[in-house]
Structure 1
Amino acid sequence: MLCEKAVDAIKKRLPDILKLRNEKRKKEDDSYVSEGDLLVQTLILAECRDILPDHTIISEELAPFTNENWRENGSYIIIDPIDGTENFVSGLKEWGVGISVYTNGKHEESCIYLPELDEKLITGGSYIKYDSRICGLSSSLSKSDLLNLPAGFEYRIIGCSMYNMLNAIKGSYLRFDNVKGVNCWDILPGLNLALEHNIPAYIDGEKYSGQILFPVKKYKISIGVGCE
C-alpha cells in the first residue's frame, strides 16, 4: 500500500526533515513553505512513481492549479506533505502528513501521520478510543468568532487539520469544526478515515459519502459527535 510505504520513507528521513525547519519562505498567500515540506513531498512522490505511476498528483506544494480537467472517475493521489507548516517551522510537534488515493473515482486508502508525535492512522488500521468533552477549532477563527463561541465546552485551537481530524476520529476531541473553509488536501484523509470508522463527518453542511474533492474551492467541515 502506498500509505504504508510513504510513512516508512518519512520515518527513516525524519532527522533530515527536522533539520530543515528554519529553511522557509513565504508563499503568495502569506503562508510558509519550508524545505521540510518539499523533502516530504519528494519522498512521497518517489513512492507514488514506484507504486501508482499512472495516478495524477494533487499536492498543496504543486498549487495553484489552473485549467485542470478534473474527472470524478479519475485516478488521483491527494497529498499534504506538511499540514501545519507554521507549527513545523516554529518548533512545535503538532504537524502532520496526509495522503488519500482514489482509483477510477473510488477511494482506495488514506492516512494521517504525525511524525514527531509518532501517531498514524491508515485505512484498515485501528486505534484506542477516548471519550472527550474537548471541541477542536480551526486556527482561522477571528477574535470576534472566539468571543461568540457557545459556553459549556472545552475548546482547543491547534493549527493542524491532520492533528485535529485524527483526534476527532479517536474521540480525543468530541468534535472538530472548520467553519472558514480549507483545501481538499487538508481534509480528505480525515474525512475518509472518519467514514471508515463510523464517525459523523459533514462537508459544507452535507453528510460526507466518500467522494473525491478537487482544488476548486475551500470546504467547511465538521467531524465528530453532534455534527448530524
Structure 2
Amino acid sequence: MSICDKIKKIIKDNLEEIVTLKQEKILKNDNSYVSKGDYLCEKLVKEFIKMELPDYALVSEESPEDNKQNWLKDKVIILDPIDGTENFVSGLKEWGVAVCVYEYSKHKESMLALPELDCYLKTGDKYQKYDSRIAGISSSLTKEDILKLEPGFEYRIIGCAVYNMYNVVTGSFHSFENPKGAKVWDIIPGLNLALENGLSVTVNNQEYHGELLDPNQKYIFKVQNR
C-alpha cells in the first residue's frame, strides 16, 4: 500500500470526527480561519509518519515553524490538512486534503482528497475523462480581476484548490489558474497529477516539470487541458 493509500485510509477512518469540528474555528492574523479539523488532520498524519515513516519530514500549512528546514530533507511529505477551510467551517462539502511525496527532490506520488464528497485521485489512478468549457479560478481574485478574465469560458470560483485541481485533472474543468499566487501545499499535488495525466502546467509563467517548490513563497500557476 502506498503512502497516499495509507493516508487516504486514515482520513476515511476519522472523517466522522473531523466533520464534527467544523464549527471549532480560530481567526488567524491574516484574517483566515484555521479549524480544529485542520489540526486533527495534521495530527493524524504526523502520528502516522512518526510511527511508520520516521525517515520522512513533514511540510504542512499548520506547522510553519518546521517547514524551513524540513523541505530540504531527502524525503518529504507535503500536506495541506484541510484546503478550503473557509468552506469547511461554513458547512460546505467542497474542502480537501492535499498530499505530495518527494524523495531526493523527485516526485514519487500525490493525492487530492475530497473526503465529504468521497472523491479521491492518486498517482496511478484511472478515471473517466471529461471535455469541459468551464474554467476554474482562484477565490483570491478581486472584482476588478474577474472583470478582466478572458472571454469564451464558463467560470467557477469554488474556494478550494484541491477541488479545482481534481476537476481540471479529470477534465471537468478545462483549466484552473491562480494569477495571485498560492503556497506549495495548496498546489503541488495537483500540479504533479496534472503532469502525470498529460496536462499543460506553468508555474510563475514557466513550464513546470515537477520540481520541488520552496514552501516559503507563493507561486502563480495555470493548469489546462490540451
TM-score range, shorter chain: over 0.9
User: TM-score w.r.t. structure 2 length?
Assistant: 0.95
Question: How far off is 1:31 after superposition?
Answer: 0.9
Asked if residue 9 in structure 1 is aligned to residue 43 in structure 2, the reply is no
2:215 and 2:195 mapped to 1: Cα distance? 21
Higher mean displacement: 199-208 or 46-55: 46-55
1:95 and 1:3 mapped to 2: Cα distance? 18
1:157 aligned residue: 157
Q: Gaps spanning 5+ residues in structure 2: where?
A: none
1:27 aligned residue: 28
Call closer, same or farther: CA 1:67–1:82 in 2, change over 3 Å.
Answer: closer
1:48-67 equivalences under 5 Å are: 48-63=49-64
1:110 aligned residue: 110
Residues 44-85 of structure 1 show CA distances to partners (whole Å, capped at 9, x for unaligned) of 1222223321111100000256763753x7221100000000
1:147-186 equivalences under 5 Å are: 147-186=147-186
Call closer, same or farther: CA 1:22–1:70 in 2, change over 3 Å.
Answer: closer
2:198 aligned residue: 198
Which amino acid in 2 is paired with 1:26?
A: L
Residues 165-193 of structure 1 show CA distances to partners (whole Å, capped at 9, x for unaligned) of 11111100000010000000001100110
User: TM-score w.r.t. structure 1 length?
Assistant: 0.94
Which amino acid in 2 is paired with 1:216?
A: N
Question: How far off is 1:135 after superposition?
Answer: 0.3
Residues 172-215 of structure 1 show CA distances to partners (whole Å, capped at 9, x for unaligned) of 00000100000000011001101111111111111111111121
Which amino acid in 1 is paired with 2:57?
A: T
Equivalent position SS for 2:69: coil
1:46 aligned residue: 47
Asked if residue 92 in structure 1 is aligned to residue 92 in structure 2, the reply is yes
Q: Contact (CA 8 Å) 1:2, 1:47: kept in 2 or not? A: no
Higher mean displacement: 145-154 or 79-88: 145-154
Q: Contact (CA 8 Å) 1:65, 1:215: kept in 2 or not? A: no
2:69 aligned residue: 68
RMSD of equivalent CA atoms? 1.5
2:187 aligned residue: 187
1:152 and 1:66 mapped to 2: Cα distance? 40
Residues 23-59 of structure 1 show CA distances to partners (whole Å, capped at 9, x for unaligned) of 0101121111100011111111222223321111100
2:104 and 2:84 mapped to 1: Cα distance? 30
Equivalent position SS for 2:116: coil
2:66 and 2:51 mapped to 1: Cα distance? 24
Equivalent position SS for 1:68: helix
1:69 and 1:42 mapped to 2: Cα distance? 17
**Percent of aligned positions with the same letter in both sequences?**
50
2:216 and 2:150 mapped to 1: Cα distance? 32
Q: Contact (CA 8 Å) 2:201, 2:222: kept in 1 or not? A: yes
1:91 and 1:150 mapped to 2: Cα distance? 32
Which amino acid in 2 is paired with 1:54?
A: D
Equivalent position SS for 1:180: strand
Q: Gaps spanning 5+ residues in structure 1: where?
A: none
